[in-house]
Amino acid sequence: MVKQTESEPSQLSRRARKLLGKAAKAGFDPSVLREITNSAINDAHSQDRGRATREDIRSHLGAELNHRIANRTDPDLSGLRSFDFTMRVPERTETFTPTEARIYIDGCDYPKTVDDLLLALEVQGRFNPDGGIRNMRVLDAMCGPGRLGREFLDLGVPSVTFHDGSEIMTTHARDQAAIYAEFGQGVDVVTSSADNIPLPDGTFDLVVCHNSIHQLASIGRLRIVMQEFLRLTVPRGHVIIADYQRATTPGFLESLEERLRYTRPEIVPLLIPSFIAAFSGDEFRSVLGSLPNIETWSVTDAKPPILTPQMQQRVAEDPVKGHLMDYSPISLRVIAQKKLA
C-alpha cells in the first residue's frame, strides 16, 4: 500500500517504470510522461480513496499511456512499441459517429476490396460439406458499409439482413444492396444497438460479425452481445466472429506493424485503437465458456486462405495489400453453434 504523500518515483513499480522507459524510447516528451504519471497516480488514489497500490498505479499509467498512443498518428508507428498489450483500452465509442462512418465508408468500401470476399469464401468453405450457405438466412451484424453481406448475396445466399447502430451505415448498406433485392434476393436493414436487435428469436441460420466486436466497451458487453446474437440464431445455427485480437507475443507486434504499413494513411488512426481495443483469445474463451445455450464453440487464430488462381488475381488487383495480412497472429475466429433446445 502506498500513500499519496510519497514522492513520485517511490510510488512506481518496476513494471510501471518499464512502461515509461518504453514510452520514452518511442519519443514521448519527458514533460508529457511526467504529466501522465502524475495524473495516473492521482486517478489511482482518488479511485481508491488514497490507498492505491503500486499495481493500481501501474494499471492507471498503462491505460493512460495506451490512450495517448491510440491517439498518436506518428508515421513510423513507433508509439505502438510502447503500448502495453496486456491491457485493453476500449474505443471512445461503440457505434461509429457520423464522421467516423463517412471516413470508414470512403476508405474501406471501394470496388476492388477483397477484405470481405475472403471472409465470405472462408465461411462458404466451412459450410460446404453440410449443405453450404445457399439456404441460409444471414445477419451481417455491425455491418458497417455492408460489404460482407453483399459478398454473401453474390455467393447466392437467399437473404441478408444488414445491422448497424449507425444509420449512415445501414442506409449505405441498403442502397448498395438494392440491386440484389431487385433480382429477388432478400435484403433487410435494421438500425439498433447490438445488445438489443428488434427481431424475433431464431430469425437467422447464421450471424456473422466482421472486425466490429472489438468496438464493444467491455467484456460484460461482449457477453451480452454474444447472447443477443445467439438469441437471433435458430437452434443448431451458428454465430461467427471474425475480428482482430490483442496479444503479447513478439510475432504479434511485428505482424501488426507490417499490417499498418500496408494500410491507407487515413485509416491508420482508426485501426490502431481497434487493435488496442481488441479482445484477446482468452477473453473470448472466458465469455464463450460461460454462455448457457451453446452446443460447441472454438476460438482459434485466423488461418490464411489458400487462394485459387482467380482469387490471386483479385487480391493482386486490390490496391490495399494489407488484407492478406489479416490472419494469424493478428486476427481470430470465434465459432459457436447454438444448442438444439
Ligand X SMILES: C[S@@+](CC[C@H](N)C(=O)[O-])C[C@H]1O[C@@H](n2cnc3c(N)ncnc32)[C@H](O)[C@@H]1O
Residues at the contact surface with ligand X, assessed by CB under 6 A: 94-96, 104, 108, 142-145, 147, 164-166, 169, 193-194, 210-212, 215
Tell me which residue has cell 462512418: 101
Residue nearest to ligand X (CB): 144
* Nine-digit cell string for 66: 495506451
Min separation Cβ 332 and ligand X, Å: 14
**What DSSP line would sit under 227-283, residue for residue?**
HHHHHHEEEEEEEEEEEE----SHHHHHHHHHHHHTS-TTTHHHHHHHHHHPPPHHH
Considering the complex, state which of residue 16 and residue 118 has its C-beta at the smaller distance from ligand X.
118
Considering the complex, state which of residue 60 and residue 333 has its C-beta at the smaller distance from ligand X.
333
What's 325's DSSP letter?
G
Min separation Cβ 276 and ligand X, Å: 13
Min separation Cβ 306 and ligand X, Å: 22
- In Å, how far from its chain's centre is CA 286? 17
Considering the complex, state which of residue 11 and residue 211 has its C-beta at the smaller distance from ligand X.
211
Min separation Cβ 204 and ligand X, Å: 16
Considering the complex, state which of residue 45 and residue 172 has its C-beta at the smaller distance from ligand X.
172
Cα distances (angstroms) measured from residue 260 to each of 16, 72, 195, 252, 321:
27, 14, 30, 12, 10
Min separation Cβ 94 and ligand X, Å: 3
Min separation Cβ 117 and ligand X, Å: 12
Considering the complex, state which of residue 40 and residue 173 has its C-beta at the smaller distance from ligand X.
173
Please report, to the nearest 10 degrees, the dihedral formed by the alpha carbons of residues 62, 68, 69, 75 taken in order: -160
**What DSSP line would sit under 118-160, residue for residue?**
HHHHHHHHHHGGGT-STT-EEEEET-TT-HHHHHHHHTT-SEE
* Nine-digit cell string for 49: 480513496
Considering the complex, state which of residue 215 and residue 233 has its C-beta at the smaller distance from ligand X.
215
